[in-house]
Amino acid sequence: MFTRWQPFGDVRAEINRLQNEMQQLFGRTGNGAREFAGTSYPLLNMWEDENNYFVEAELPGFHLDDLEMYVTGENQLSIKGKRQQPELDQATWHRQERGYGSFARLVELPGFVDSNRVSAAFSDGVLTIKMPKKEEAKPRRIEVKTG
């Protein structure tokens, strides 16, 4: 049967989503719209292979032009962005659950990366950042000599 791999299991992921939703509820601002401030936004998944670190974030409705990504100090990734709220004229809201506004998030990477070779892809609202590891961050096989 087809099974899906989930980071830290479904329950953990669900709790994270739920927590974020709760924070969004309590961080709600006066006009009823939710803002990104006060929450960890966007949520990130991070993984690695032998040569790269990868960070993925769900950013529906953003455009690459609205996003700024930097690698600083060779091991910090910062992502900033902004999403505009649709301006309604002569309309009545029934639901307003989607967040708007600006966000900024800074994460520390587990190792050093080559900031000149960082690349990003954005499709269907999913951002994937690929950061090649510096030589010293790569796993090294230690040869054991038999004497």
Partner 1 sequence: MSSQLTKNAPKPEHTETSTAEHLRGGPLFSPRVDIWETKDELVLCADMPGVTAKNLDIQFENRELRIHGKVSPRQENINFLYGEYGIGDFYRTFQIGEAIDAEKISAELKDGVMTLHLPKTEAVKPRRIMVKSS
Binding residues vs partner 1 (CB under 8 A): 1-8, 10, 12-14, 16-17, 40, 43-49, 53-54, 56, 58-63, 86, 88, 90-99, 110, 122, 124-126
HEC assignment per residue over 101-119:
EEEEEEEECCCCECHHHCE
Considering beta carbons, is residue 26 or 93 the nearer one to partner 1? 93
Q: How far is the CB of 147 from partner 1 (least distance, A)?
A: 34
Q: How far is the CB of 85 from partner 1 (least distance, A)?
A: 9
Residue 121 token pair: 């892809």
Residue 45 token pair: 């998944």
Residue 26 Cα distances to 4, 36, 37, 88, 141, angstroms: 32, 12, 11, 24, 49
Considering beta carbons, is residue 10 or 68 the nearer one to partner 1? 10
Q: How far is the CB of 116 from partner 1 (least distance, A)?
A: 22
